[in-house]
Structure formats: C-alpha cells, structure tokens
Structure 1
C-alpha cells in the first residue's frame, strides 16, 4: 500500500463588498501581501440580509481567496482593515482535497518572503 501525500491545510475564504473596484482592491491587496495565493472576483450578486433592524437587499461583488490555515489570521486582519463594511462577511472553509501540484503552488505563494 502506498501513502498519498499529505494535503496541506488549505482554506477557501469568501467575502463580499459593494463595488467591483473594492472587490478588486481586496483581492489584489491580499495577493500582493502573499496572504492569499489567488483570488477570484465575481458579481454582481444580489444579497438579502438583516441589518440594523431591517431586511436589506444589495448588489455586491464576491471575492473568493485561497490561503493556508497558517496564513488565515493575517489574511483576516488584512481584510478587516481594508474592508469598507462595518461587519464584513468573512467565511473560511477547509479544502478537503485538490491537485497536488496546485496545493504545492498555493503553499509556496503564501509563504512569507
């Protein structure tokens, strides 16, 4: 029996913001700081949520970032500092599996220089 290589502790992190420009700035800032290996911006999407006692509907852009669990605290701090929302959505979901080459690339990209 052969052992498979260990899957690094990788997270898919999601946030949303109110404009394409703000989403691109969050994505670029995180990648430039090596807190995320890559980020995708999609939108607009329609969000429905409770805020300050009312149900709101807003057009938002979604940012999906890939990082490691070791880099997540720094990524979270960066996103919170750079985000325009009072209470931004920040969700991190563990990645169960992925191609070995991609996961190795991801880990290398978020290593502090």
Structure 2
C-alpha cells in the first residue's frame, strides 16, 4: 500500500459550521482533549445562505475543520453533536488524500489508539 493510499484510508476532515467562535473553540477543545481530534482549524467570517423552515436565511458563521482518523470520525461526530448548538448541525466527512509524512507521524500519535 502506497503512503498516499494509506493516507486516504486513514485521515479525514469533518466540516461543521457553528454560530460563534466561542462555540467552535469549546467543541474543539473537548475533541482535542478527548483525543478524538488531532487538531481543529476554526475559520471565522463565513456567511451561509440556506433555506430553513420555509424561509431563506443569511447568517454569519464560523467553520470548524476537525482533523481526525476515519476510525474515530463517528465518535468525534457524536462528541461534537453534544456540544453543537444547532438543531440540525452539518457534519460532513471529507477524505484527506495525502500529506507530508512528518505531520502524519505526529497526527498518528495524537489520535486515540
């Protein structure tokens, strides 16, 4: 198995928007402390436009990209859902296809065994 193929099967991003930076940081800290996430990147300044309960909404949000293993993704989503303030939060799992080996080695050591 090539390093790229192993990476594809091993690590994922979980994308989730949240209403505030504080909500994202609280969720991120819990996931990292619980070793369900290697790292969480929080991007402020996102505008989301969507339909909710029959009306078009436009909201300021932050987006969290949760880096974790494919194996831990279901547990990470379950833990994040407990801290997520939205009625129907989005948790979209995106594959990570490749990366530098020194970072990947570090990431492997951070994830729950």
Same fold (TM over 0.5): yes
Query: Could you say which residue in structure 2 is the equivalent of 1:102?
Result: 103
Query: Could you say which residue in structure 1 is the equivalent of 2:41?
Result: 40
Q: Does 1:18 align with 2:25?
A: no
Query: Could you say which residue in structure 1 is the equivalent of 2:60?
Result: 59
Give the unaligned 5+ runs of structure 1: none
Give the unaligned 5+ runs of structure 2: none
List per-residue Cα deviations over 1:47-81 (Å, max 9, x = no partner): 00111111100000111110001111110100111
Q: Is the 8 A contact 1:67 1:107 kept in 2?
A: no
What is the CA–CA distance in structure 2 between the aligned matches of 1:91 and 1:103, rounded to whole Å? 21
Q: TM-score, normalised by structure 2?
A: 0.90
Query: Could you say which residue in structure 2 is the equivalent of 1:84?
Result: 85
Q: TM-score, normalised by structure 1?
A: 0.90
CA shift, 1:97, in A, is 0.6
What is the CA–CA distance in structure 1 between the aligned matches of 2:39 and 2:74, rounded to whole Å? 17
What is the CA–CA distance in structure 2 between the aligned matches of 1:15 and 1:22, rounded to whole Å? 11
- After superposing on structure 2, the runs of 4+ consecutive aligned residues of structure 1 that deviate more than 6 Å are none
What is the CA–CA distance in structure 2 between the aligned matches of 1:100 and 1:17, rounded to whole Å? 31
